[in-house]
Structure formats: structure tokens, C-alpha cells
Chain A
Amino acid sequence: MAETLVQDVEKKGTFEFGKKERKLLTDPLNENNPITVQVLGICSALAVTTLVFPSVVMAIAVVFVCAFANLFTSLLRNAIPKQVRMIVQLVIIASLVTIVELVLKAFNYEVYKQLSVFIGLIITNCIVMGRLEAFAMANKPWQSFLDGVGNGLGYGAILIGVALIREIFGKGTLFAGSPIQMNLIGANNVSTQYWINTAAESGIGTFFSWYSNNNLMVLPAAAMFIIGIMIWWQRSKYPQLVDVS
């Protein structure tokens, strides 16, 4: 095990950043997006996108976990026996998440409480394991690290896009739950009345008070529709992605 590690470090060479590496970062943002093209990480995209703020938190966490899980798996890739590779991959993911959890618990308890809800969602996020299987098991550490960052960002972009639509039309707020929460539209709905009392009292909401929140947007089904439409738009832009079958 130790020898393969050393070999890897030697083979890796410098941390070059050429055309290929840049592609690793930008591809997941458009034509190889983890959600809309690779179909990975849908569950968490449905679960956290009712509000923008948790989506941002989740996106940051996934970038971090995905990048480092890719890095460690790639370092160990030649030593991992094929028969037990899934367990090894999950041990790596779960330990990374647990380390973050323990450190936050000791140094910033408030953030830990915010994040503790996501722990299950990060471990079972198929993007992380999907990239380990598809990329890190067959590529060098530095490239794998970049691939992890890129895919995390591509995932985050969709997450935040969906969350913006769902929060504005479903709750009439923006960034609710964060320090900069604001009230945008709608005033005559049960669920926004909570926010109106607490969030900015004179937002743009005053002008759109006729708007009644669309409860459909709060349901997971709305996220399915929005992602479906995003796929439609993306595939009209990149016709090579269209299913021929």
C-alpha cells in the first residue's frame, strides 16, 4: 500500500493546469453537468432547493467532500481491491464528513447545527460516489481533485438556480434563514406571513402584495418540473446531448 502511494506521488509530477485541466473544471458546468446530463445527485437537489440559503450551504459542502474524496480515492486507487471498493469509497466519504462534523462541533456550533441536517444527504449524494467510480478510480490525484471541484460546482449551479425559482415563487422570499434574508413578493399567504413579520418589513413585497404564494413550488414535484425544463433548454443549446434512442 505504501509503495503504491509513493509511486503515485512520483508519477503525478507537477500540478500542471493546462487545457485538459481547465476542461475538467468547466465541463460539469455546461455540457457534462452532473444533474442534467449524468443524472446524479437528484434526491438532494429535490430536498434542499425549497430555500436558496441551504442550497448554497449544501453546494459548498459537496464541492469540499467531492474534491477531497476524489483526491484520496485516487491516491489509493491502485491499492483498493475491486471486490471491496464500494465499502472503501464509502468509508472515505463518511470519514471526511465525520471529520468536518467533529471539527465544526468544537469550533463553530451554530454552523454545525446548520450542517448536521445535511450529513445524511452528503453521504448518500450519488455525485460523490458517482465521480469516485467514474473518474477517481482511473485518474491521477490532481486531475481527480479538479474533477471533484468541477462537478461540485456544476451541481451547485443547478441547485441554486432551482432554489431561486422555488423560493421566490413558493415562499416570496430570498435567502430566508440567512443574515441577509429579504421579503420579495406576496403578502396574503399563511406561510409568508411568518416571514413578513420577521424579514424586511418594507421590501418589494409591498408592491406585489396581490401575489399569493404558489404552494406547488414547495412540493418536490416542482423541482422535477424545473429541472425538466432546464434539461429541455440545455439540450436545445447543445444538440449533441439529445437522446437518439
Chain B
Amino acid sequence: MASLPRRIIKETQRLLQEPVPGISAVPDENNARYFHVIVTGPEGSPFEGGLFKLELFLPEDYPMSAPKVRFITKIYHPNIDRLGRICLDILKDKWSPALQIRTVLLSIQALLSAPNPDDPLANDVAELWRVNEAEAIRNAKEWTRKYAMED
């Protein structure tokens, strides 16, 4: 395997040395491009109190292309589908090499705080979110309790 680009090393070091509050990203033992991420549900969101596991993979041409991120923990969110795929612009076309792992994770955290049902991935969830936000939020809380809380 080709050696790790300096940027990734730097990022990793920085992530470990100066972790973002509410976010932990640890590289896999075997694959330095694969990170085990845990994001806490932002305060004031239906996901508060939940610990959401994600996986993050830095593709070969990172930072020129976006990292691949996916929720592992089930989450009730209009922009995250049942498989954990995330609909987030910076992970797609709005990716910029100036972005980093931490910024991506922060964006994801922000996404939890501010679901965007107008750009849905999970249509049913988005529909409910649009039609009956309260119930959706209830659901989200429910799911959070169910799946994102260990105990």
C-alpha cells in the first residue's frame, strides 16, 4: 500500500491531539485511511444524548475528492437513509480540498441539528418531517433512544 500522504498524517495527528468536542475519530489499526467516528447528538436536537457511530474512509485521491462517510448507527433523519448514507453537499459536489475530516464531521453534526427535509434521502422520513415535524422528532428521539444510547 502506498504510503500515507502527509496531509492525512497531519490531519490524523491533529484529530488525535486536538479533538473536536463531541466528535471522536480514530484511524483503524490496519488502515490509516479508515476512521471509526463517534458523533454525539447535538444539544437541542432530537438526537441529543445519542452516540452515533460512523465510518469514514479517505479515498485514494483525498483530499482532491471527498471522504466517504456513513452512519453505522441507525438514525431517524431525513437526510440519512436506512443504510446510513448521508445526503450532504460537501460530501458530494461541494467538496473542497480545503475541507478536512474534522470539518466534514462538524458538518455532519450540524446536519443532525438542522435536518433538511427539502433535500431528502430518506423520503418517508422527510415526508413525515415536513408534514408532521413533531412526530418526526418524536420518532427521531425514539430511534435515538433505541439505537444510539448504549444503555
Chain B binds chain A: no
Taking Cβ atoms with an 8 Å cutoff, the residues of A that contact B are none
